[in-house]
């Protein structure tokens, strides 16, 4: 079995990708006494001494694992060491593609002062909250980001920004991944968050006041009395006698279109706009005629009859879309503002999805129908990221011409391209779509922070694409606009172009010119060696303990010195406060070097829980493939064994170990919604909200029972800040079936909504109800 395993590994030709020139000898004597590390992330137990060496060379996307012969006998071509040692020199810190002020506290304080000033002067607050959202990105707190988005949506004073921010809030919940996926512009349900209502975003007027009742839940207005017109009117509608009002029509003007005559009332037509009033009552010849030729004015007889009907009664009846489009063109031609607003509203209400939006968006742009364009745009935004793969949508949103057309219709803004570029960077940072959207973002930038963000992100994307000269130019432009952190990008681009000393000099100057920050010393450490490098890394950790690169570098350097205990201890420091995939990957390789295959597989399973598409070894191997290759080296468990292991790890608060066991169980039973739910709870406890939301959506989609789906939807709402809606979901579930999970959700949501004594007593009572319901001891142990 071992020979087959080694043959499979060697067949991957991973050694060819190793670039490190230095050979790191493995001291077999030292390894036998230095083999501790918490392979499962929880216990800190001693690792067993490594077995006789085996030869496998592995690489990651950010590490090199050289494999070469050594006089000590540790690395020989036919040895059986699980993997080579990682090269610390191959590690690089990631550049944050967000605003990162030198002093975050001062920047947030300044933003708060701007917010207070805007409130006092009744100025626009929406952009202030968007700036806060940009500043919160460097902190990595999803709750702060959502809070800023909600505040921005509340204070958005125009339909366009309400549409953008409502779609962004919906995107954070990724409701499009529900099965079946709800239509993007479907009417709200009883538990749809108010700030995400598509009708409220478009039709709320210019006020920043949010209606406490969703427009979709308003009772329908009473129907106006139907008018029975003369038989000569093609738009006469038959109906119940009680609903009809007899009305005599006065016809004193006829518009001749081709061979047809359309009867109208002169005063009604003249009242539509000042140009028409001047035409019919001014000094023009038409003022003295009762028959006017409109054959060359671009309107059909059917459209003109619709104009006549609107001029008499002031409302649009059940006209088909093509007739309303004719009315809109007529309104624009003759400056009929009231008719244009009515047509705009009517057409906007007809859009129900991407297909209708694609068929109407061009006409809306040509006729400058702001609400229609906003509604079509809303359909595209609420289907992100899928809609960006549609060539027509991408052409409109990404191209300079599309941006100009949207701008002419009042629907291009920094907020729009901030959202679009955010989605595109999450999907694929290297794509042409991302670059084009960031270019549009830069074109829409007006405020200083707009320009800093757009330029810095363009630099980060170009750096990721390997276009280092372009990246340096964008970073330098961002620095010129006042973004000091972009100097790190300038230095990195110089380094990638082979100018390491110039990069060092630049960061040396940054350290001397500005107040010290952890990222400055971390970046300078990339360009120096030896004791100076280690001193910079220590200073970076002292100034900002959340930076992961210093821990990773020190851990890899310690492993090169055969100090296994210290290497595991160093990388575990990161994992104690941040469950990062690259750190888990590094620890998995350490375990492979130490011969602890069980711990290595456990960490790889945890990685796949966080990111199911994670690729290892310079993105050449999927994590599942590595697990399969190591299958013969680890103990195999059936489902009963997995449950026992889960009980042990859950009880011991070994969250990473629990994640690995649940991932193994889900590999056998991918449709087990209860396991998916348990996985989400573990991820939330580890502050991995994005992965937790994905697990909750999968739990919801795979559940066979309505009361369970309601609970999972409720947790998604609760974890995205919608407590009242989560309470409603819990109550709906309880009405269908009393369950531990439903009572537990209700207790959580109620306890987080109010802090008074009465609510606290209600929470205790709900937890008692939950405890009386059937469930396993692992779930009940949470409270």
Cα end-to-end distance, the chain, whole Å: 47
Closest-CA residue to 454 (of 470, 468, 466, 437):
437
Beta bridge partners of 253: 264
Looking at the chain, the domain(s) classified CATH 1.25.40.10 span 703-783
Sequence ranges of the chain with CATH classification 3.30.710.10: 250-431
Q: What is the pLDDT of residue 223?
A: 52
Query: 624-665, pLDDT tens digit by residue?
Result: 888 888 888 888 898 999 999 988 888 888 899 999 999 999
**Is the CATH code 3.70.10.10 the one for domain 703-783?**
no
621-622 and 615-616 strand pairing:
antiparallel
Q: How far is CA 359 from the centre of its chain?
A: 27
pLDDT in the model for residue 584? 93
The CATH label, of 3.30.710.10, 3.30.360.10, 3.40.720.10, 3.40.50.970, for the domain at 250-431 is: 3.30.710.10
Helix (H) or strand (E) holding 261: strand 260-264
Q: Where does 611-705 have alpha helices with state H?
A: 623-629, 639-651, 655-668, 673-685, 689-702
Distances from the Cα of 286 to the Cα of 32, 253, 327, angstroms: 105, 10, 21
User: Which tokens hold the place of 336?
Assistant: 């009929």
Please state whether the peptide bond connecting residue 336 to the residue before it is cis, i.e. omega within 30 degrees of 0.
Answer: no
State how far the Cα of 440 lies from the Cα of 460, in Å rounded to an integer. 16
Q: Which residue has the tokens 């009231």?
A: 338
β-pairing verdict for 260-264 and 253-257? antiparallel
Count of alpha carbons within 13 Å of 570, Cβ hemisphere only?
23
Whether 18 contacts 67, CB under 8 Å: yes
Sequence-ordered alpha helix ranges (H) in 174-293:
198-203, 266-270, 274-281
Contact indicator for 592, 58 with CB cutoff of 8 Å: yes
Q: What is the pTM of this model?
A: 0.81
Residue 515 tokens, joined: 């107040």
- Token couple for 219: 């009772």
Across-strand partners of 293?
256
Hey, what long-range contacts does 327-336 have (CB within 8 A, 24 or more apart)? 327/303, 328/363, 328/367, 328/369, 329/298, 329/299, 329/367, 330/298, 330/299, 330/303, 332/367, 332/368, 333/297, 333/298, 334/272, 334/273, 334/275, 334/276, 335/273, 335/274, 335/275, 336/272, 336/273, 336/276
Rounded Cα distance, 25 and 74, in Å: 7
Residues of the chain short of pLDDT 70, as ranges, are: 1-86, 175-176, 205-249, 617-618, 755, 775-783
What is the C-alpha separation between 301 and 278, in angstroms, rounded?
23
Please state the φ and ψ torsions of residue 595, each to the nearest 5 degrees.
80, 10
């Amino acid at each position: 079995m071992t020979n087959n395993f080694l043959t499979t590994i060697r067949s991957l030709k991973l050694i060819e990708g190793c670039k490190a020139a230095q050979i790191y000898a493995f001291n077999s004597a030292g390894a036998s006494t230095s083999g501790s590390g918490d392979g499962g992330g929880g216990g800190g137990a001693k690792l067993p001494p490594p077995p006789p060496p085996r030869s496998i060379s592995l690489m990651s996307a950010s590490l090199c694992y050289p494999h070469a012969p050594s006089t000590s006998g540790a690395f020989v071509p036919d040895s059986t060491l699980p993997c080579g040692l990682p090269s610390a020199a191959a590690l690089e810190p990631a550049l944050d593609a967000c605003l990162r002020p030198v002093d975050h506290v001062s920047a947030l304080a300044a933003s708060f002062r701007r917010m207070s000033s805007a409130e006092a002067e009744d100025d626009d607050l929406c952009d202030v909250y968007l700036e806060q959202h940009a500043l919160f990105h460097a902190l990595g707190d999803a709750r702060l980001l959502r809070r800023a988005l909600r505040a921005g949506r509340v204070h958005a004073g125009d339909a366009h920004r309400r549409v953008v921010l409502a779609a962004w809030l919906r995107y954070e919940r990724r409701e499009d991944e529900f099965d079946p996926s709800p239509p993007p512009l479907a009417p709200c349900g009883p538990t749809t968050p108010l700030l995400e209502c598509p009708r409220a975003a478009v039709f709320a007027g210019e006020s920043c006041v949010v209606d406490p009742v969703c427009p979709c839940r308003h009772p329908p207005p009473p129907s106006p009395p139907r008018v029975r017109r003369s038989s000569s009117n093609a738009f006469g509608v038959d109906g119940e006698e009680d609903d009809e009002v007899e009305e005599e029509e006065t016809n004193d003007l006829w518009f001749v279109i081709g061979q047809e005559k359309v009867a109208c009332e002169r005063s009604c037509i003249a009242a539509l706009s000042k140009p028409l009033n001047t035409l019919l009552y001014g000094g023009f010849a038409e003022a003295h005629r009762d028959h006017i030729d409109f054959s060359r004015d671009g309107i059909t007889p059917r459209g003109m009859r619709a104009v006549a009907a609107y001029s008499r009664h002031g409302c649009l009846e059940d006209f088909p879309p093509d007739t309303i489009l004719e009315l809109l063109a007529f309104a624009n031609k003759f400056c009929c503002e009231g008719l244009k607003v009515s047509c705009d509203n009517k057409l906007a209400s007809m859009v129900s999805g991407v297909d209708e939006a694609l068929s109407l968006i061009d006409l809306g742009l040509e006729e400058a129908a702001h609400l229609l364009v906003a509604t079509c745009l809303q359909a595209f935004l609420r289907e992100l990221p899928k809609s960006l793969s549609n060539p027509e949508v991408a052409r409109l949103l990404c191209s300079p011409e599309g941006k100009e057309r949207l701008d002419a219709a009042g629907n291009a803004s920094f907020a729009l391209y901030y959202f679009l570029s955010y989605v595109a960077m999450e999907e694929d940072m290297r794509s042409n779509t991302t670059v084009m959207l960031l270019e549009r973002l830069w074109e829409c930038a007006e405020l200083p922070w707009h320009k800093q963000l757009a330029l810095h992100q363009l630099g980060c994307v170009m750096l990721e694409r390997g276009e280092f000269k372009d990246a340096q130019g964008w970073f330098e432009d961002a620095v010129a606009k006042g973004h000091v952190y972009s100097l790190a990008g300038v230095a990195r681009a110089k380094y990638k172009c082979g100018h390491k000393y110039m990069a060092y000099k630049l960061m040396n100057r940054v350290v001397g010119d500005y107040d010290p920050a952890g990222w400055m010393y971390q970046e300078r450490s990339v360009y120096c060696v030896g004791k100076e490098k280690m001193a910079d890394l220590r200073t970076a950790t002292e100034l900002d303990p959340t930076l992961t690169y210093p821990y990773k570098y020190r851990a890899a350097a310690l492993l090169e010195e055969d100090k296994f205990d210290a290497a595991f201890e160093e990388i575990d420091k990161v994992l104690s406060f941040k469950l990062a995939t690259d750190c888990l990957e590094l620890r998995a390789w350490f375990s492979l070097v130490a011969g602890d295959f069980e711990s290595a597989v456990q960490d790889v399973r945890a990685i796949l829980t966080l990111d199911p598409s994670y690729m290892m070894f310079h993105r050449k191997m999927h994590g599942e493939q590595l697990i399969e290759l190591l299958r013969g080296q680890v103990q195999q468990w059936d489902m009963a064994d997995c449950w026992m292991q889960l009980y042990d790890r859950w009880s011991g608060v070994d969250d990473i170990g629990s994640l690995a066991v649940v991932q193994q169980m889900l590999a056998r039973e991918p449709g087990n919604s209860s396991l998916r739910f348990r996985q989400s709870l573990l991820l939330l406890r580890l502050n991995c909200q994005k992965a937790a939301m994905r697990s909750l959506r999968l739990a919801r989609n795979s559940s066979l029972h309505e009361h369970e789906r309601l609970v999972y939807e409720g947790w998604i709402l609760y974890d995205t800040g919608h407590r009242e809606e989560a309470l409603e979901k819990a109550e709906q579930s309880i009405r269908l079936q009393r369950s531990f999970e439903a009572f537990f959700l209700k207790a959580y949501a109620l306890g987080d909504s109010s802090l008074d004594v009465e609510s606290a007593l209600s929470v205790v009572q709900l937890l008692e109800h939950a405890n009386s319901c059937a469930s396993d001891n692992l779930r009940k142990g949470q409270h």
